[in-house]
Structure 1
Amino acid sequence: MAKAQIGTSILALTLIMSACLEDGERGNPLDPLSSNFVDEGQVSGRVTQRSLAGVSGSLVQLTPGGLTSVTDGSGSFSISDVPSGSYTVTVEAAGYVNAVDTISVAPGVPVAANFELNGLPILESWTVNTAHISRWWPLEDLFQVEFVVQASDIDGVFDVDKVWLDIPDYGFADTLLTTQTTGTFARTLNDLDLPTTTIHALLGRPMLLSVRDHLSDIVTTPDLRLVRVIDETPEAVEEAFQNGPQDCLQGQSGSGVVPLIEWKPLFLPYPFTHRVDIIRVDSGLETLVERIDNIPFDETSVVATPLPDGEYYWTVAVVDEFMNRSRSKQVGFCIIP
């Protein structure tokens, strides 16, 4: 009899507790059965360069849903109230390659999403121009196309792996070479280097310059086009050196000689200026000792700075507004005490 009463009491207590649990409030926001349940999480992280410096102003976007955040000065971001589910995270920043990753968001569980962006290489400046060079030997004039590029990279100039040119109409490509100036790349092509009979055939043809970094990301210029080859060349007045270009000029002790450089007038149907170069020659080694730029088109002479004893030659060139140029033959002279 006692055992039956005990069993009945336990059953009644169980039913009472069960009723209490069913009727009681569920306040835990992580309990799916709670009226306070929030089916959302949080995504936060940091966007950095390869050097680990923060990238401020980066746009971080979740897809689907379109929730976004912009990184602060340290590259950090946070997106709250993100519904549970799977997302694609895209990071965009000016000058960098976009980064993409996938994440899963669960209620109340913080998700860390960190990104390291590769900075794009930069074509800071470039010039493409023609050069027409008159010379004593070989007798034929030389025609060239000159390419000069200043390139860099957000991750540092030493991340620049290659700079090259393309001439799509001819399926032609060539690599620009590094120079003594950090970040400057150059290439000069003669008639024989090109897939055309003359440089004139390149006029109006599209050309492209590209730079690639060590992670193989590439930036390319818009179409570039040659606009002119200057066929006329200026002609030096050799009589300015009295007895001829190979004669020596007598200088005064300790004061050097101030040579007068003269050339014949040249008339062209477009704007241009003159440029004079004076080169010193020592045992075959040539050194540019003076360059006089932007001489007005209607001037036909210029006075150089005093020159010490030695062997020299000078040239005069016409230069148009696109930096295309045409150069005279060399005029040699020497100076003795």
Structure 2
Amino acid sequence: MLESYPQGAKLGKRRLAVLLLLLLCSCRAERFNPLDPRSPRFKDEWVVAGTVRDWNSGYIEGVRIELKPGLMSGVTDGTGEYEIKKVPRGSYTAVASKEFCSAETIQVEVVPGSPTIVDFKLDRLPVFSQIRATTHDDSISTGNDLYAVFSAKVLDPDGWVLSDSVFLGLDTSIVWPMRDLGSDSFGLTLPDDSLPGNNLEYLIGRDLVLLATDNAGRCSISDAFGITRIIYDIPVALSPRFYAPQNPPTFKWSGIDVQFEFTYTLTVEMLYPSDTTWVYGGISSDSTSYYQESDTLPPGGFLWSIEALDLFGNSSKSRVEPFTVD
């Protein structure tokens, strides 16, 4: 004989069965949920990501972002974006750095869930190129003492104007301002009487650097460089003097006797009726004369000089001699 149960009792049993099923599924879900710390599948690995820009909001490629402590790092791509995976939760110091850029440090707290976004803004520092340091002896030709010439290209990738902010430094205690020549070029001429002891040899063997400060107040320092030598032996211009008996003239001089490689450069400058200049470089160090058959000079007044030039650009120059051509 079948027994009957009240309708409410049947519903109660069904509800109990559903609750037991849900509880079982819930336990199983927690057990296998990789985001649940109680799950054997749980991995405490999260993502730190972001973008690196410069002061003009341009993207910077090749910036290295490091998380400390630890050995976790990433590098920005062409759009300035980076991503560091498998980062355990916790507190970190994020450091963004790249050569010729200021470094930036940000404190980061990595928590479970969506990626931790950390953006950086770096200042691109001034960059030096084409640094040149030479000595010159024009004392015979101009009556001036020995002097050194310094030149360089200095570019700020952020677009800051660097006028009045580029300097030549010596021994961290002596600094000379360099003159803005335009087109990112800077130059400085130092006569020997502006140096300690009034002697250009004070610079020989000493480390020189260039310093540039951008509008953000950050300073960039070049690699050390120096003066290689001073050429004290000076060529002597012999002829023509006052009058050139033939045209084109044969230029003759007394050479220098040194133990390093060099060449001569001949300069002819017309004084009247025009101001044309002819320069003949790369003349052999064995030569003591020069004749260019194809360069007939027009009638007028001229000056000429001969200069010895080594491989580094150091030079010594003869006295300037005048001559005329009929």
Give the 3 Å change call, closer, same or farther, for CA 321–80 of structure 1 in structure 2.
closer
Q: Does 1:166 align with 2:156?
A: no
1:154 aligns with one of 138, 153, 157: 157
Could you tell me how far apart the structure 1 residues matched to 2:300 and 2:51 are? 64
Counterpart amino acid of residue 92 in structure 1: S
Question: Residue 189 of structure 2 corresponds to which residue in structure 1?
Answer: 188
**Residue 54 (str. 1) matches residue 59 (str. 2):** yes
2:84 corresponds in structure 1 to 79
Instruction: Give a deviation string over 1:92-125, Cα, whole Å, max 9, x none.
Output: 2333222221121221033211122222322212
Amino acid at match of 2:287: E
Amino acid at match of 1:218: S
CA distance in 1, matches of 2:61, 2:51: 10
Equivalent in 309, 313, 318 of residue 319 of structure 1: 309
Aligned Cα RMSD in Å? 3.4
Q: Residue 200 of structure 1: SS of its match in structure 2? A: helix
Offset at 1:298? 1.0
What SS does the aligned partner of 1:292 have? strand
Where does 1:281-320 land on structure 2 (aligned, <5 Å)?
A: 281=271, 289-303=277-291, 305-320=295-310
1:177 maps to 179
Contact kept, 8 Å, 2:51 with 2:120, in 1: the verdict is yes
CA contact (8 A) 2:153 2:186 kept: yes
Q: Which residue of 2 aligns with 1:228?
A: 229
Q: Which residue of 2 aligns with 1:127?
A: 132
1:234-266 residue CA offsets vs partner (Å, 9 max, x unmatched): 11113x3xxx42x4779xxxxxx5333221233
CA contact 1:157–1:183 (8 Å) conserved in 2: no
How far has the Cα of 1:331 moved from its partner? 0.9
Cα pair distance change 1:161/1:314, threshold 3 Å: same
Shift of 1:214: 2.8
Q: What TM-score does the superposition give when structure 1 sets the normalisation length?
A: 0.76
Give the drift of 1:153.
3.3
1:65-115 deviation line (CA, Å, top 9, x unaligned): 322222222221122332222211112233322222112122103321112
What is the Cα deviation at residue 330 of structure 1?
Answer: 0.6
How many Å separate the matches in 2 of 1:307 and 1:287? 13
Question: What SS is found at the alignment partner of 1:196?
Answer: helix
**Aligned partners of 2:306 and 2:317 also within 8 Å:** yes
Matched with 1:44 is 49
Structure 1 residues not aligned, in runs of 5+:
1-12, 251-256
Q: Which residue of 2 aligns with 1:214?
A: 215
**Any stretches of 5+ residues in structure 2 without a counterpart?**
1-14
What residue number does 2:147 align with?
A: 144
2:95 aligned counterpart, secondary structure: strand
8 Å CA contact 2:162–2:212 kept in 1: the answer is no
Between the two proteins, the alignment pairs up a number of residues equal to: 306
Query: Helix, strand or coil for the counterpart of 1:263?
Result: strand
Q: 1:320 to 1:48 in 2, by over 3 A?
A: same
1:237 counterpart SS class = strand
- How far apart in 2 are the matches of 1:113 and 1:314? 66
Residues 154 and 194 of structure 1: CA distance in aligned 2, closer, same or farther (over 3 Å): same
CA distance in 2 between counterparts of 1:24 and 1:74 reads: 43
Classify 1:158/1:281 alpha carbon distance in 2 versus 1 (closer, same or farther; 3 Å): farther
Map residues 62-73 of structure 1 onto 2, 5 A cutoff.
Answer: 62-73=67-78
8 Å CA contact 2:164, 2:178 repeated in 1: no
Q: Which amino acid aligns with 1:193?
A: S
Corresponding position of 2:113: 108
Q: Which amino acid aligns with 1:220?
A: S
CA–CA distance in 1 between the matches of 2:142 and 2:98? Answer: 55
SS in structure 2 of the partner of residue 281 of structure 1: strand
Matches within 5 A, 1:262-281: 262-281=252-271
Q: How much identity, in percent, do the aligned residues show? A: 26
